[in-house]
Chain A
Amino acid sequence: MSALRVENLAVRSRQGTILHPVSFALEPGTTVTVIGETGAGKTILAEAILGILPAELSASGTVCLAGAAFAAEERARAGLWGRTVTLLPQEPWSALDPLMRARAQVFEVLRAVHRRPRSAARAEARRELAALGLAGEGRKYPWQLSGGMAQRAALAATRATGARVLIADEPTKGLDLALRDAVVALLAAERDAGRAVLVITHDLAVAEALGGRILVLRQGRVVEEGQTREVLRAPRHPYTAALLAARPETWAPRALPQVGEAVVKARGLACRLGGRVLFDGFDLTLGEAETVAAIGPSGVGKTTLGNLLVGLMRPDRGTVARRPGLASVRFQKLWQDPPAAFAPHITLRRALADVCRRHDVAWAEAERLLAALGLSPCLLERRPDQVSGGELQRVALLRALLVRPVFLFADEPTSRLDLLTQAETLRLLADLAAERRVALFLVTHDPAIARALAHRVITLGA
């Protein structure tokens, strides 16, 4: 008997269909991965299975859990939450209660769901955390845990329910490679322990590592499904093929431009953050049109290094020497989260016009760049929150290029973007940097991106 069976599950809003009918079955001890980009309807699918859709959406179809069939619209399966089916939510830091210690959050599940006696629950909570390598961390609050530890703490609370169906919504979002692999290993362990695991992700590597079956979701429609290995090896739908081709691992090597004279030289840099030494005696030189990529786990000081080079921070020791005669404004930065890098209340046109006025740049230059970046002029009338992340990152690139930078620090510029958008954005970034002979310091968590784009790759924290 399937642990979870979904038949013709569809979701509609007043404006139209958000999720076209989906059917699949999930057996105990196996995984199904739902893959798709932002807005494909992945999270809506999870919410429809659980019965926690927002009130303005309506669902149809059938969801069978633990042998009982429920109409998708019914609320009756609320009784199964935490017992038969459980959700590992996105963004563990916000999913955990910020005012409760990690162990108390697991303890609470055992008390409330399984009515365990206090002492037994306490011992079991300790065991659950220890099993996930959090033995010493039970007394910490979520904000004292790293992203990976918080993810494991959330998983411990989820596991404590003992539910047979585990739904994981973007479990690797915002994690670096090492943590991503660790989370995937945890999910695989849950599967091997006999649980049915439904994973929702935008990351093809997660799907590949978990195996099982895959559903490729695009704009609310399943465009392809099958055994993960076969779908990834020989995709039948063009969209799946495009997704696979957008993976940095498969990019063709670029012809890198000739490196010119040095733009910035860092000598003997030392920096500490929060009492921790990030690096000491670090040397780095970037020349014109040179791309240097920095990789390494989160928190190792990649962003700090970039901020030192661009002049946003001062080193504790050492020097950052720029080529004489360059104004400081010609050292620019791209941020990880595009919407956060714009003033939220003004239109993009106003933001760009302000830059033009400040630096006596003709507006025609902005329009030329707009075309070069493939951006529609009507975007300019919108505010930053009304534009997609990929488009906004291109506007941020445009804004930086307006002041004719010689050095650009790109801080994980595409880590929040979808695969296809990432490929497009990075291609434009590399093309324009080469064409305008900008030195590019690219921070990324993906070694494949670093290898594909950079003259040199430095690994921090190795």
Chain B
Amino acid sequence: MANGLKLTEVKSYQAYVQEFSNELIAIALNGFRTAQFLKEETGIQGKKTFSVMKSNGRVLKAFSTTYSGTGDKIEMIPRTIETYVTKAEMDIVPSDIRASYLGAFTLPNQEVLPAFLVQIVSYFIARLMTDIDELVWAGDKDGGASNVLDTLNGIDKQIAVAVAASDLTEIATGTISASDVIAKFTSVYDAMADVHKVSMIPLYLYCSKKNKDLYARAVQVATNMYTNPNEVKTMLFGTDCEIVDVPAWAGTSKVLVAPKGAIIYGYDQASAMNNINVIPQHYTLEHSVTPEIGVLIVTPWDGEIAVNDQF
């Protein structure tokens, strides 16, 4: 069937998106605000089970010539991450762009300037990143949100489940203000096992951007020093724990301390089904992408992570 709309430039744009779709989707999957602080696992389609090793006391004994092996000293605890397929769709109507103020930039005999389309799809990816970030933290499968947040149980929900099951003991901080932010952040950090405080695996304290800023200012006032002299990172004063803001926690007093490996963010490869599809229809360009993503708190137990009472 002949297409009523001349699509020469649009076709070249389609080729452009398809050529770069892997890179664009990789940016969307890896580039959101908090992705760099989570442990990334790729190649997860559906479910994948990890084993957490746990020591059950000493294995070293005083010497004697009698051999007596002791059982149950090492325990393997299975933890399963589950990924879910999501989707994002967007229509672009080139004739509408042409009819708008942007039409003035269109060259003679051209339906639409491809640069606009590239700009639009870049912004689409930026929005996709923001949405994935929100889903990873605030997703609640049974929360009744009637939107994408119903897709999977995010970090907040998994914390709530662990707390309700008494696997994780909250630190009662209440809401956080400028006058008590130092003491309250520190009280959550204190609940972590020492082994995580001295490990070279990065340790992060997650909170809202507002509380992160309150903390930095409070430390400056209290000590006349910045939390970190080079000001690149905001550190929990006197520790190796970096403070990270979570966009999905805006307006809350939630605090979580966790080492990098404790939270896994998993997805399928940034290829194949995750390509950005651009399909030219009669009058529209249909864009679609189907990222498959999941998140798991691997060790939601006392000492392995620490949370306050705002979840």
Q: Do A and B come from one complex?
A: no
Task: Please list the residues of chain A having a beta carbon within 8 angstroms of any beta carbon in chain B.
Answer: none
